Structure 1
Amino acid sequence: MSEANDGQWRWDAEYWDELYRSTDAVWSGRPNRVLVQETAGLEPGRALDVGAGEGADAVWLARQGWKVTAADVSQVALGRAAEHAAAAGVPAGAIEWWRADLLETAPSAATYDLVSAFFFHLEPGPRAKVLSRLADAVAPGGTLLIVGHHPSHAERVGHDHAPAELFFTAEEAAAGLDPAEWEVVTAEERTRPAPADGDDHLDTDVVLRARRR
């Protein structure tokens, strides 16, 4: 995430490619525990993993029997993720690696039994656009899973790291879902230890899980 010359914050390929090149591992290599919890009991089908990064969630989903499309704006991240998948023994073809900027490209409509996006933080206008596209990509009976930092995260890390408008509540994430078309299963806040801190700081995440009717 970086601040452009016009004062707007961006998630762009240049920033993320540079970040992934700068270190051997940006993330832990473990699947997000909310993904594991919230998909328990779901029948594996087609999954879209948005912001796939180094591939931990995509690999875990594939090993549970999902056919995964792993999307990320960074080709460097996707190359690393493919290496991790091969090392984990994921069969060829179980994961499709898709370099995509979802502000520019929409996923196929009504296609996926699971669409998940974790910590995908944009300003309110672009965020609403992307969330609408992700919701449209969920097949009837499928699940939309959105996880992000609560707005209180901005107070903890400071405005220099990210302004508050990049963060959202579960209710804000759900605002664009038509109740006639969607059943909100989970919309709540959850606290967890902040992994980068050496003290007792807690992060508050928002979790939205909804089923398309």
Structure 2
Amino acid sequence: MTDENAGQPPAPTTASPAGEYLGDPAVRDEWDSRYADREQLWSGAPNGALVAEVGDLAPARALDVGCGEGADAIWLATRGWDVTGLEVSGVALERAAGHAREAGVTVDWVHAGLTEAGLRPASYDLVSAQYPALPRTPDAAAERALLAAVAPGGLLLLVHHAGMDTHQEHESGFDPADYVWPSMVSALMDENWKVEVDEQRPRVAPDGGAGAHHTDDVVLRARRLR
């Protein structure tokens, strides 16, 4: 998997979880509040679909979109991947950085939204987005940012809760129409992409953590050909 930037590290906005945030302050504050409400929001174990889909791959450069408290990014790093973890919540990133230190691995933490992060195009051999809350926009900015980040020969792995995209707006204010779903990303793929997996399957859920009640995943794995 090579490109014109081969041998050069991706250009993160900041390597510090306490660094300047680039993105919508309202989104940051919302997620900071969610994380601050609980000492630990997620299980601390890597997502099952990530383990199943990339466990046998040779390590290279990876981007973890919406890395949360860092379980996926740290799991990849322990397997030899050069990992960038992207997250809007500073609270989550502080926890992730602490977990990485405990695990004895290095991850580049980027405190930014996906579309504001200024990531170098075509720089990652794996772009993993596990249950991301990516705002939907008329110009499909988030979908295009996911695709643009993948290096030629690299993989995009997008996993989400099955059926959520068809739900009606919840009384809590959550409206699926406001967010990006896997079908929206695959709809933008052209002849430069090969979809290797696009299916619904039972979720292999880590014990505990928010979202553990969801039973099925939609898994989209696609390879950028050039």
TM over 0.5: yes
Alignment of 1:22-171 (within 5 A): 22-90=37-105, 94-125=106-137, 128-152=140-164, 155=167, 158-160=170-172, 162-166=174-178, 170-171=182-183
Q: Distance in 1 between matches of 2:38 and 2:224?
A: 39
Which amino acid counterpart does residue 47 of structure 2 have in structure 1? N
Q: CA deviation at 1:108?
A: 1.1
The answer to whether the 8 A contact 1:48-1:69 is kept is: yes
Q: CA deviation at 1:148?
A: 1.2
Q: Does 1:192 align with 2:206?
A: no
Q: Which structure carries more relative contact order (alpha carbon 8 Å, separation 6+)? A: 2
Secondary structure in structure 2 of the residue aligned to 1:26? coil
Aligned to 1:3: none
Aligned to 2:185: 173
Which amino acid counterpart does residue 85 of structure 2 have in structure 1? A
Aligned to 1:209: 221
Identity %: 44
Q: Distance in 1 between matches of 2:214 and 2:135?
A: 24
Structure richer in strand, relative to its length: 1
CA displacement, residues 62-99 of structure 1 (integer Å, 9 cap, x when unaligned): 00100000110111111110101111222xxx310110
The answer to whether the 8 A contact 1:107-1:134 is kept is: no
Q: Distance in 1 between matches of 2:173 and 2:201?
A: 22
The answer to whether the 8 A contact 2:86-2:112 is kept is: yes
- In structure 1, stretches of 5+ residues that fail to align are 1-9
Q: Distance in 2 between matches of 1:127 and 1:207?
A: 24
Which amino acid counterpart does residue 122 of structure 2 have in structure 1? A
Which amino acid counterpart does residue 115 of structure 1 have in structure 2? V
Normalised by the size of structure 2, how large is the TM-score? 0.77
Q: Distance in 2 between matches of 1:157 and 1:28?
A: 27
Aligned to 1:5: none
- In structure 2, stretches of 5+ residues that fail to align are 1-24
Moved more, 147-156 or 75-84: 147-156
Alpha-carbon spacing, 1:153–1:76, altered in 2? closer, same or farther (3 Å)? same
Q: Distance in 2 between matches of 1:130 and 1:208?
A: 16
The answer to whether the 8 A contact 1:52-1:58 is kept is: yes
- Equivalent residue pairs, number: 197
Which amino acid counterpart does residue 57 of structure 1 have in structure 2? D
